Structure 1
Amino acid sequence: MHYLLQDMGRAIIMGKATGVANERIYDVFLSFRGEDCRAKFISHLYTSLQNAGIYVFRDDDEIQRGDQISFSLLEAIGKSKISIVVLSSNYANSRWCLLELESIMESCRSSGLVVIPVFYEVDPSEVRHQTGKFGEVFENLISRVPVERKVNWKTALLEIGGTAGVVIINSR
């Protein structure tokens, strides 16, 4: 499975290398909910991409002490060629993950950021329609946010849930 992501990343980077402007300094920006998949999946994905020579931004490696997390992450999204969004069952329970996703999808629409969703232990239709456990945690979170933010997050989840990606269910 990691080889599939490596090959996809290489193909996209090679195809975009000639026309990339806007000071793109990262090949890949990883978006994920740490408690769900950092040790079991993200560490392996990150290592595989790095071993393939792909320069990856991962929040626990690239943010310098004293940086404002929000500015650093938003800047990194804008300076990336690709974003791999690892959607797990608790991803939608994080205000920060959803703000990040909102920014990623906006960059996809406005500046051509390539977005590759990885549905990690969650069905893509649950993300798209905000149902199941994914939908439950999302509803719990959005009950405490302004209406405009809810609409933006629902739109971002609908878009990414409808994007072809990698589905990983019952992983070891």
Structure 2
Amino acid sequence: SHLSAALKRLNITVIEEDTLPETRQYLPKKTRLAIERSKICVVVLSKNFAFSKHSLTTLVEAIERRHSKTGAAVVPVFYGVDRSLVEQQIGKFGEAFSKHETSEPEHRVTEWRNALKEAAHIKEGLESNDES
């Protein structure tokens, strides 16, 4: 994507979750280490974000990092999706969770839901309706 390319040109580490196989249950070590070493975690929340278990788990890791002693700033970017849909988990987000609730343990789904709600409440977030 254009955003990934621009960030990489600035020598910023980009974790592209869509390149990871959905069959993996846990985040790769490389992803966890990148989050642990980050001072800022920018999370791009698009309309299909909640369908990706890896994206949701990455968000949980970023939120946990935010609350750690050496906390990182988490900046959510609401890309083509309204912040309220993320917070209330309706629309595509509701559809995704209906699916996850049939295949994932309750504690994991709760973690994902809580992380999304917290991300939606971060005031420093950016909103963009431009999907180009």
Q: Which TM-score bucket, shorter chain as reference?
A: 0.7 to 0.9
Which amino acid in structure 1 is aligned with residue 122 of structure 2? Answer: T
The alignment status of 1:142 with 2:101, answered yes or no, reads yes
The alpha-carbon deviation at position 58 of structure 1 amounts to 1.8
Q: Does 1:128 align with 2:87?
A: yes
Instruction: Supply the AA of the counterpart residue of 1:77.
Output: I
TM-score, L = length of structure 1: 0.64
Query: Taking structure 2 as the reference length, what is the TM-score of the superposition?
Result: 0.81
In structure 1, distance between residues paired with 2:43 and 2:109: 19
Higher relative contact order (CA 8 A, sep 6+): 2
Aligned residue-pair number: 121
Map of 2:12 onto structure 1: 56
**Identical-residue share of aligned pairs (%):** 36
Letter in 2 for 1:169: N
Q: Partner amino acid for 1:91?
A: F
Give the partner amino acid of 2:38. S
What residue number does 2:21 align with?
none
Please list every run of 5 or more consecutive structure 2 residues that lacks an aligned counterpart in the other structure: 17-25
Superposed CA offset, 1:24-80 (max 9, x none): xxxxxxxxxxxxxxxxxxx322333344x4x311235xxxxxxx9611101110011
1:114 aligns with one of 73, 80, 95: 73
Aligned-residue Cα RMSD (Å) equals 1.9
Instruction: State the distance in 1 between where 2:80 and 2:31 align.
Output: 25
Q: Which of structures 1 and 2 has the bigger CA Rg?
A: 1
Check if 1:96 corresponds to 2:54.
yes
Q: Is the Cα–Cα contact under 8 Å of residues 122 and 134 in structure 1 kept in the other structure? A: no
Structure 1 portions without partners, runs of 5+: 1-42, 61-67
Q: How many angstroms apart in 1 are the aligned matches of 2:57 and 2:4? A: 22
